[in-house]
Amino acid sequence: MVDVGQQEAMARQIEDALGAREGDKAPGKGKILLIAALAVIVLAGAGFAGLKILQKPPHHGPPVPGKIISLPQETLNLSDGYLLQVTVAMQATTTANTKLIATDQPQLLNAEIMILGGFSYPELLAPGGKAAAQAKLLASFQKILGPSSGQTQVLAILFTSFVMEAG
């Protein structure tokens, strides 16, 4: 932004430059050019200030849901010997780095096995059991993937298939 002191200094420089060449010009033309130059400087400064005032700050609201990314189906042992066949999907954000998610897929699958394998059949059947498993997976996936553009990359964990059976 151009302040008043800078505008005055620029006006003096323009006036000096015009004054050096005005010996052969009529006295009124130099003043007209000076006034026009000052008007341009003032308008430019006002326009710049107006743009700065009207610009909205960047939005740092809640993450916006993006793609749903499915992981391959897994069959694993629960802690009490029962089997679980599960397919997990992640609700990614619009800022998520999908290339990083693909690269880190082995770590995500390992976390899935370790976390779900720590549950027992009765724990997963109990009210809130699957929700507890989803919450643990979400925290683990968010830790593995880290933030992208200052926001979490995964909003939710979805079970698209969940079958338990006796082992």
pLDDT tens, residue by residue, 107-135: 999 999 999 999 999 999 999 999 999 99
How far apart CA 38 and CA 35 sit, in angstroms, is 5
pLDDT band at residue 54 under the 50/70/90 scheme: low
Task: Flag whether the pTM goes above 0.85.
Answer: no
Radius of gyration for the alpha carbons in the chain, expressed in angstroms and rounded? 33
Q: Which 8-state DSSP code applies to residue 163?
A: E
CATH number, span 65-165: 3.30.479.30
Contact 88, 137 (CB under 8 A): yes
How far apart CA 45 and CA 6 sit, in angstroms, is 10
Q: Note the pLDDT tens digit of each residue in 80-101.
A: 999 999 999 999 999 888 888 8
Q: Where are the domains of the chain?
A: 4-54, 65-165
Q: Which helix (H) or strand (E) holds 93?
A: strand 83-93
